[in-house]
Structure 1
Amino acid sequence: MEICGGQTHSIVRHGIDRMLPAGVTLLHGPGCPVCVTPAGVVDAAIAIAGRRGVTFCSFGDMLRVPGEGGSLLGAKARGADIRIVYSPLDALAIARKEPQRAVVFFAIGFETTAPATAMAVLQAERERLENFYLLVPHVLVPPAIEAILGDPDSGVQGFLAAGHVCTVMGYTEYEPIAKRYHVPIVVTGFEPVDLLQGLYLCIRQLEAGEAAVENQYSRAVRREGNRAAQEAVARVFTVQAQRWGGIGEIAASGLGLASRYQRYDALTRFTDGVVPTECAGECIAGELLRGRKKPCDCPAFGTRCTPEHPLGATMVSFEGVCAAYFRYRRTEASSRNDAGDGDATSHGNERPT
């Protein structure tokens, strides 16, 4: 299983999974921060953005993610002041420029983006900005790996860990997981050659009966990671249980603002502090993110669920597995069927690889 959605897109785009020998199957894990943001958090974001005097700042791909009550894009169309930013520092600049507005940044992401969020909070504290807030659904990778391995239906025998996450956090947290579950974990980059080498290292361990953490992405990742970034995250946030979209709550898998920085919490400031509950929908994101199914197993894929009309975040996000299959596998399947090769089954119905 590759963890990162960026790795998934590289695998599907370049057909790496189709090049592998029989007996090697790639499963796509919960490594897209947009995809694992719960619909209830999206509903909270919509509620906050709709309040008078609030400017809501978000990365662009979150605007189309559906909650139970629509999307941020729909709220923007109804008049909410919602702005696309490229970093939390952009939101901080808006708060500095428009002190009469309450500026809320939607702080999604894994350990990769948490340091930038932490730095924005520390800068707001230094400048004594009173109008800057965060909606924080940051999540952590190692607890998600353990949740997958603890699933009795999981068939995962090895992991390709996300190189950018490990650039920040290092990989010491993965070492006890590899030992406890006897599963090799290879820190891997994102180019096709990175992924192929990561697969080779993982399979070499499996064939030797070994289970350790290896670092394929040594040009960017050190075992100890980026200590300065880790210190900033530890200062601003505290580890807590977190709900994952389609998966549910995972213990110690999220980051919440530490007590010293609670004044920046938008959920407490603008709502009752409770994330709305979610209703079960047609989207099978939970099965996809656990590696139990692939997009072509969903009856709505490519028909009722498309990038223009998504049923779930896995079709919205650029790193979403459904978006990858829709972009790179749907047309291939259609071409084969149009050519009359006799196989008119579901999209992307390649042999197990």
Structure 2
Amino acid sequence: MEVCGTHTHALMQFGLKDVYRDKMRLVSGPGCPVCVTSQSDIDRLLYLCDQGVRIYTFGDLMKVPGSFGTLREKRALGADVREIYNPLEIIEDMRKQPTTIAVFAAIGFETTAPLVAELIAEIEKSGVKNLYIYSLLKRIPPAIEALLSDPDCEIDGLLCPGHVATVIGETPFVKLSEKFEKPFVIAGFTAEQLIFALEKMYEMLTKGIIGVFNAYYSTVKKEGSPLALKALKKFFETSDAEWRGLSVIKDSGFMLKKEYSVINALQKYPQLYKITSKDNCPCGQVLKGKLEPEDCSYFGVSCNPENPLGPCMVSSEGSCHAVFLYRT
């Protein structure tokens, strides 16, 4: 299983799932931050739109269906929803209308979290008011642990995300490999890097080797990125978080520390806790590797990139989207 949306896309793009079909069955896991954002969190953002709150978000989240539409549809009906590429863009935008109340939907994994930390630092420095952070940031290692703890788990090895490993290093994956006695390979993203990683995974599986092999050693260091980890420690603490398809996973989220609760959207709008929703599609099963996209009855029929029923078809890193785009 790979747990990285960029890996999911690349494996399909380069045809590697077919190339390795006779050696290994490659399945996609919860590696796309848009895909693992829960239905409840989408509905909470839609609720904020209805309250006249400006929403800042990354592009793919705009199209994820909630129980009552999407952020893109809300914008078409007049809501103030703005796509961003860099969180720091928000500071300059807020300066133009300083009395506007806004919420940044901060999605992502350990890779994105340092950028959000930098935004928080800029909020402090600039004195921008009325901007709140809704942290939907998640931690990959607890999700892997939850997957491997499933009694029905059929995962024999993990292709670890190179971007996340660049931040957190090798150690968290070493602990998981030892606990579950499975091989882990940290992989890069080019065709050559992925082939190198897959060949090493096949060797470890056939020889019964347990441990972590860093096939992305040019970028990933054992200790990770000290600067990024320092930023995460300064602004965030771990918290339980809800993942689509995986329910609530202990210590799998990044929550703003109490010192920064004044900009925490959940502190500003505690009524959000009361909004809970159920998934509207089988994306959760796909994210757990228990349902192949092509085996979903909606795939390519009522669910396609133009009319997605769930986030796995919406996101450019979603497994359903990748299979639809590159299927032969």
- Give the structure-2-normalised TM-score: 0.97
1:63-122 deviation line (CA, Å, top 9, x unaligned): 000111211011101111111110211112212332121222110000000000011101
Contact 2:63 2:70 in 1 (8 A): yes
Q: Counterpart amino acid of 1:87?
A: N
How far apart are 1:232 and its partner, in Å?
A: 0.8
Please give the alpha-carbon distance, in whole angstroms, between the structure 2 residues aligned to 1:150 and 1:275: 29
Q: Counterpart amino acid of 1:93?
A: E
Match of 1:336 in 2: none
Distance change in 2, residues 1:271/1:75 (3 Å): farther
Q: How many percent identity over aligned positions? A: 38
Q: Which has the larger radius of gyration?
A: 1
Q: Is it true that 1:216 corresponds to 2:215 in the alignment?
A: yes
Contact 1:91 1:104 in 2 (8 A): no
Match of 1:339 in 2: none
Contact 2:243 2:249 in 1 (8 A): yes
Please give the alpha-carbon distance, in whole angstroms, between the structure 1 residues aligned to 2:48 and 2:156: 42
How far apart are 1:276 and its partner, in Å?
A: 1.8
Q: Is it true that 1:298 corresponds to 2:312 in the alignment?
A: no
The size of the alignment, in residue pairs, is 328
Q: Is it true that 1:108 corresponds to 2:107 in the alignment?
A: yes
Match of 1:7 in 2: 7
Match of 1:18 in 2: 18
How far apart are 1:306 and its partner, in Å?
A: 1.1
SS at match of 2:92: helix
Q: Is it true that 1:33 corresponds to 2:33 in the alignment?
A: yes
SS at match of 2:98: coil
Match of 2:320 in 1: 322
Match of 1:48 in 2: 48
Q: Counterpart amino acid of 2:131?
A: F
Contact 1:94 1:103 in 2 (8 A): no
How far apart are 1:278 and its partner, in Å?
A: 1.4
Q: Counterpart amino acid of 2:124?
A: E
1:174-218 deviation line (CA, Å, top 9, x unaligned): 111101111111110111111111111112122222111111111
Match of 2:306 in 1: 308
SS at match of 1:308: coil
Give ranges in structure 1 of 5+ residues lacking alignment. 333-353
Please give the alpha-carbon distance, in whole angstroms, between the structure 2 residues aligned to 1:87 and 1:255: 19
How far apart are 1:280 and its partner, in Å?
A: 4.2
How far apart are 1:51 and its partner, in Å?
A: 2.5
SS at match of 1:299: coil
CA RMSD after TM alignment: 1.3
1:135-178 deviation line (CA, Å, top 9, x unaligned): 11111100111111111111111111110111111121111110
Is the deviation greater in 191-200 or in 89-98?
Answer: 89-98
How far apart are 1:125 and its partner, in Å?
A: 1.2
Please give the alpha-carbon distance, in whole angstroms, between the structure 2 residues aligned to 1:177 and 1:32: 20
Please give the alpha-carbon distance, in whole angstroms, between the structure 2 residues aligned to 1:275 and 1:13: 41
Match of 1:90 in 2: 89
Contact 2:102 2:131 in 1 (8 A): yes
Give ranges in structure 2 of 5+ residues lacking alignment. none
SS at match of 2:73: helix
Match of 1:125 in 2: 124
Please give the alpha-carbon distance, in whole angstroms, between the structure 1 residues aligned to 2:272 and 2:153: 34
Please give the alpha-carbon distance, in whole angstroms, between the structure 2 residues aligned to 1:239 and 1:4: 21
1:203-241 deviation line (CA, Å, top 9, x unaligned): 212222211111111111111111111111111111011
Match of 1:348 in 2: none
Map of 1:1-353 to 2, 5 A cutoff?
Answer: 1-20=1-20, 22-52=22-52, 54-274=53-273, 276-281=275-280, 283-329=281-327, 332=328
